[in-house]
Structure 1
Amino acid sequence: MRDPPGPALRAALPLLGAAVSLCTGLQCVCQLCEHTNFTCQTEGACWASVMLTNGREEVVKSCVSLPELNAQVFCHSSKNITKTECCYTDFCNNITLRLPLASESPGRAGPRPVVLAVTVAVPVCVLVLVAVLAVCTSRGRRRRARRGHKPPNVEEPLSEGNLVSSGKTLRDLIYDMTTSGSGSGLPLLVQRTIARTIVLQEIVGKGRFGEVWRGKWCGEDVAVKIFSSRDERSWFREAEIYQTVMLRHENILGFIAADNKDNGTWTQLWLVSEYHEQGSLFDYLNRGTVTVEGMVRLALSVASGLAHLHMEIVGTQGKPAIAHRDLKSKNILVKRNETCAIADLGLAVKHDSVLNTIDIPQNPRVGTRRYMAPEILDDTMNTNIFESFKRADIYSLGLVYWEIARRCCIGGITEEYQLPYYDVVPSDPSIEDMRRVVCEQKLRPNIPNQWQSCEALRVMGRVMRECWHGSGAARLTALRVKKTVSQLCLQEDSKA
């Protein structure tokens, strides 16, 4: 029988594990990863954290990506508020952490044997790690210096107090943590810190999932989408999609945090995002009309967001192609600058081009019947081909464009707001209602004759027809739509 490894070798295992993980990926305990048997895989580190929240200790275990690890924030503890540990061997975060007692004096603590063993046994590894951290720190400081920000002290622990006193806006925090391409969301610890300091102000919307509130964080408005506990799968799926690598885009709703809050009676599932006071495109078009320039600007921003979703970015920090599956005017928000941001990604599907697999959420909802493409209505869509999902999105996009164009004011004449197919189906149509109209009768929303008198509306009408074509293969791509509307935008700008 072999002798067990000595202290020095045991201390070196985390470093050796880190090297191995670069090739195989670490397996870690992950509390939120129910769909993968509460485990996750990463090239960075395993993470365990205990946080003091309302007098109670809350433990979180998850994976830390390599870019998050390089950011040198994630693994820092905050005295008497949080205690975190990052480690580098499989399931090494399956540990119990405790916050230090107030009476404990860290100054009297003796040297830890593991640290001494590592220092003696693997000095070369330690020097390499220090060098890597120094390079990352230097790059981070140069990047912040180019943006005009004072470089923070990397030794300063991360805590609620630090976030508040840093003077940074949410936009700054999000930009700091996503410029490396690590994803569209903040690290989990930062998300929890922000979510626990949001004060809810008023309900701004309701849906099948729950409620949307306007909240305040450090004087800034944020949107808080609160899911009921029975809809946990939808909450988890939407948070997962929003944190996809390289997803962040000006025409996709800015994700901030996902958190679950337990008040002792029931659990609230929060999804925190940027707040847009103009509300949804549906609300915006109901309230008033748009100019030709405004119509084109709205149309271009929606196409830009959808093109970014549909596009695959190849590379180590690449982005999978994503299809929305529930594109409609109520799931598109209007920003202060009169452009749009696509929201509600809970039904989205991702495509793995390497394995040629489609990540379809196990969710009973299949989208909104009024906006469903004919191949979905008559059940002829090939769900094994990812292009099918993108083509269904384009059909929905054509209907959204029709809604926008109807509200365009030409020569003082405009039409009242209506939903697509308002004149041929009930207010809450069934699948059979829509199938009969769209597939059997092959009807589409009416394009008024007066649109022919305006170049922009004429082009928009042509784009709509190509988007809602009965054959998915004959429809335009999101990138083609974006280019066409972009040219239209340039023409309108030149007239101004």
Structure 2
Amino acid sequence: MQGRTAVGDFLHAYKHPPARASILKPRQLCKFCDVRATTCAVCHNPAHKLYGLVLEDYNNSKCEMKERKGMGSQFFICSCSGEECNEHIFFNSYVNSQVVSVILVSLVPLLVMAVLVITSFYCYRVYRQRQASSRRKRGPPLDFSDGRAIMIDDEGSDSSSTHANNLNHNTELLPIELDMQVGKGRFAEVYKAKLKQGSSVSGEQGFETVAIKIFQYDEYASWKNEKEIFSDADLRHDNVLHFLTAEERKVQRQYWLITAYLPRGNLQEYLIHHIISWHDLWMLGGSLARGVAHLHSDHTTCGRYKVPIAHRDIKSSNILVKSDLTCCLCDFGLALRLDNTLSVDELANSGQVGTARYMAPEVLESRINLENIESFKQADVYSMALVLWEMISRCNAIGEVKEYEPPFGNLREHPCVESMKDSVLRDRGRPEIPDRWINHTGIQMVCASIEECWDHDPEARLTAQCVAERFYDMEYLDKLSDRSDSEEKITEEIFVVDEK
């Protein structure tokens, strides 16, 4: 009926409507309660209140449901006056406020996280771009056109450690031209080589000299072990050979280690061709002890923790001589990282290694204490003592200097383990220390340290650090020796002048 508003059971049916806008057609909705039978209780006169409410929109042509507050619960009502206007009911523009709150609570943290992630990624990209720009300004790792030497090519300077360990992850092979072979060992050959440095201003090709240690394919294990030892940044030390990179040369079926080139060669060769002074001995011996002490130490010079390393093949031919007459340890093919996580079985699998002439008694006898990693250091100290003996044998401070002989020179050139057992274990033999050697105070002190270092009982031996400290304490003797040399020269000059 025109002008009348239909209300009834549908009011109660929509007290809790759906949360989104929709067009619904409820069941049992009366259209005109004065025409057809329905479940409607009444057809309402809009002039009167309904449930205490005044129907303000009864002139609408559509039945648009609206929420009315203050009814004790969610309450929706519509009124209209059009022809069969209550045929369809609308919940236009309605969104449940609780649903909105839930959506906001759910989405806001996600949006915040997304903003943080995007911001962090952006900052990281900017940081990496600045790093890359900085590296480009300094020059790429493989381009040495800045002229900074990473190796030596003359007697007056040593290799710089500036680029040491910076090339470990190269994907491209370095441009290297082999020059000549300068050494050969059990596992590899060593070559002097030229590392191309890029074109100079004059257009001529520049080079830097490097040493290349070449392993054949069947010596992969030795190359891998030495590469892993060298790759430890904590190994870097003035008395350890500077390492550049390792390469697999598939075309030549070879593995390469690229290191500093030291033209003075190894200590054995140097002692063969040179007689050294007390000052030279003090420099060589002290630096050797410092190098071994650094290997054995469980911390770096700046106090940071490092894994101790046992060299296990210390001998004069595995020690290089730098231009300042200090020692430099090399050849880590048999070295062992003394990690506390290593089991006794893993240590036992390392086997009896080293050079027989320099093996400690317990190594020769295969009775090294595998439960104590200090045992490996003690074996190194024994070998170091033999090298110190070699130095003294060629020092002019002892008086008459004989031709170079290695320790246990009475044995054949390359004695086997059994021969060394007879000399070192059965006879308890050690290289001879003549009485005339101890006439020099400094030599006497070094000899005392040597005898403590090659003691038959590993536990009684000095540590490399203790030997290094003893050499440091001898510095005053070295200064006295320099003063004596100067006084002798002055006396000789006066004598010559008087004769004239």
TM-score bracket for this pair, using the shorter chain length = 0.5 to 0.7
CA distance in 1, matches of 2:329, 2:126: 39
Task: Please show how residues 96-107 of structure 1 align to structure 2 within 5 Å.
Answer: none
TM-superposed deviation, 1:186:
2.1
| CA RMSD of superposed structures (Å) | 3.1
Counterpart of 2:248 in structure 1 is 260
Gaps of 5+ in 1: 1-118, 141-150, 178-183
More deviation in 466-475 or 370-379? 370-379
Task: Please show how residues 188-207 of structure 1 align to structure 2 within 5 Å.
Answer: 188-190=168-170, 193=172, 195-207=173-185
TM-superposed deviation, 1:456:
1.1
CA, structure 1 residues 402+130, in 2 after alignment: closer, same or farther (shift >3 Å)?
farther
TM-superposed deviation, 1:221:
1.0
Give the AA of the match of 2:317.
Answer: K
Match of 1:348 among 332, 335, 338: 335
Once the two structures are superposed, what CA deviation does each residue of 1:323-355 show, in whole Å capped at 9, x if it has no partner? Answer: 1000000000001111110001111111223x3
CA, structure 1 residues 129+368, in 2 after alignment: closer, same or farther (shift >3 Å)?
farther
TM-superposed deviation, 1:126:
4.8
User: 1:174, 1:185 within 8 Å by CA — same for their partners in 2?
Assistant: no
Match of 1:334 among 321, 325, 340: 321
**In the alignment, structure 1 residue 232 sits paired with structure 2 residue 232:** no
CA distance in 2, matches of 1:126, 1:451: 75
Counterpart of 1:313 in structure 2 is 299
CA distance in 1, matches of 2:375, 2:409: 26
User: 2:167, 2:244 within 8 Å by CA — same for their partners in 1?
Assistant: no
Once the two structures are superposed, what CA deviation does each residue of 1:161-202 show, in whole Å capped at 9, x if it has no partner? Answer: x6233433326997556xxxxxx6224334x54x52111111
User: 1:281, 1:334 within 8 Å by CA — same for their partners in 2?
Assistant: yes
Counterpart of 1:445 in structure 2 is 431
Once the two structures are superposed, what CA deviation does each residue of 1:297-348 show, in whole Å capped at 9, x if it has no partner? Answer: 1000100100000001289963101110000000000011111100011111
Give the AA of the match of 2:427.
Answer: Q
Matched position secondary structure for 1:418: coil
User: 1:244, 1:319 within 8 Å by CA — same for their partners in 2?
Assistant: no
CA distance in 2, matches of 1:269, 1:365: 25
Counterpart of 1:116 in structure 2 is none
Once the two structures are superposed, what CA deviation does each residue of 1:442-495 show, in whole Å capped at 9, x if it has no partner? Answer: 011000111121011101110110000000000000100000011113421254
**In the alignment, structure 1 residue 185 sits paired with structure 2 residue 165:** yes
Match of 2:378 among 385, 391, 416: 391
CA, structure 1 residues 280+166, in 2 after alignment: closer, same or farther (shift >3 Å)?
same
Counterpart of 2:145 in structure 1 is 165
CA distance in 2, matches of 1:327, 1:136: 43
CA, structure 1 residues 323+372, in 2 after alignment: closer, same or farther (shift >3 Å)?
same
User: 2:246, 2:258 within 8 Å by CA — same for their partners in 1?
Assistant: yes
User: 2:168, 2:231 within 8 Å by CA — same for their partners in 1?
Assistant: no
**In the alignment, structure 1 residue 381 sits paired with structure 2 residue 368:** yes
CA distance in 2, matches of 1:136, 1:305: 37
Counterpart of 1:285 in structure 2 is 271
Matched position secondary structure for 2:369: coil
CA distance in 2, matches of 1:454, 1:316: 37
Match of 2:134 among 147, 153, 166: 153
Match of 1:479 among 456, 461, 465: 465
User: 1:251, 1:301 within 8 Å by CA — same for their partners in 2?
Assistant: yes
Counterpart of 2:117 in structure 1 is 125
Give the AA of the match of 2:221.
Answer: R
TM-superposed deviation, 1:124:
2.1
Q: Which has the higher Rg, Structure 1 or Structure 2?
A: 2
Counterpart of 1:407 in structure 2 is 394
Counterpart of 1:214 in structure 2 is 192
Q: Percent identity?
A: 32
Once the two structures are superposed, what CA deviation does each residue of 1:347-397 show, in whole Å capped at 9, x if it has no partner? Answer: 1111223x3657759667711000000011112211232100000000001
Counterpart of 1:464 in structure 2 is 450
Gaps of 5+ in 2: 1-110, 153-158, 198-206, 483-500
CA distance in 1, matches of 2:447, 2:297: 25
Match of 1:491 among 466, 471, 477: 477
Matched position secondary structure for 1:189: coil
CA distance in 2, matches of 1:302, 1:452: 21
CA distance in 2, matches of 1:361, 1:333: 30
TM-superposed deviation, 1:154:
3.9
User: 2:161, 2:242 within 8 Å by CA — same for their partners in 1?
Assistant: no
**TM-score with structure 1 setting the length:** 0.65
Once the two structures are superposed, what CA deviation does each residue of 1:421-442 show, in whole Å capped at 9, x if it has no partner? Answer: 112x222212111111111110
**TM-score with structure 2 setting the length:** 0.65
CA distance in 2, matches of 1:473, 1:365: 19
CA distance in 1, matches of 2:342, 2:146: 44
Counterpart of 2:353 in structure 1 is 366
CA distance in 1, matches of 2:165, 2:360: 31
User: 1:174, 1:186 within 8 Å by CA — same for their partners in 2?
Assistant: no
TM-superposed deviation, 1:294:
0.3
User: 2:181, 2:192 within 8 Å by CA — same for their partners in 1?
Assistant: yes
Give the AA of the match of 1:336.
Answer: S
User: 1:254, 1:273 within 8 Å by CA — same for their partners in 2?
Assistant: yes
CA, structure 1 residues 254+237, in 2 after alignment: closer, same or farther (shift >3 Å)?
same
User: 1:234, 1:363 within 8 Å by CA — same for their partners in 2?
Assistant: no
CA distance in 2, matches of 1:121, 1:474: 63
User: 2:284, 2:327 within 8 Å by CA — same for their partners in 1?
Assistant: yes
CA distance in 1, matches of 2:476, 2:194: 38
**In the alignment, structure 1 residue 454 sits paired with structure 2 residue 440:** yes
Matched position secondary structure for 1:327: coil
User: 2:398, 2:438 within 8 Å by CA — same for their partners in 1?
Assistant: no
Give the AA of the match of 1:153.
Answer: S
Matched position secondary structure for 1:202: strand
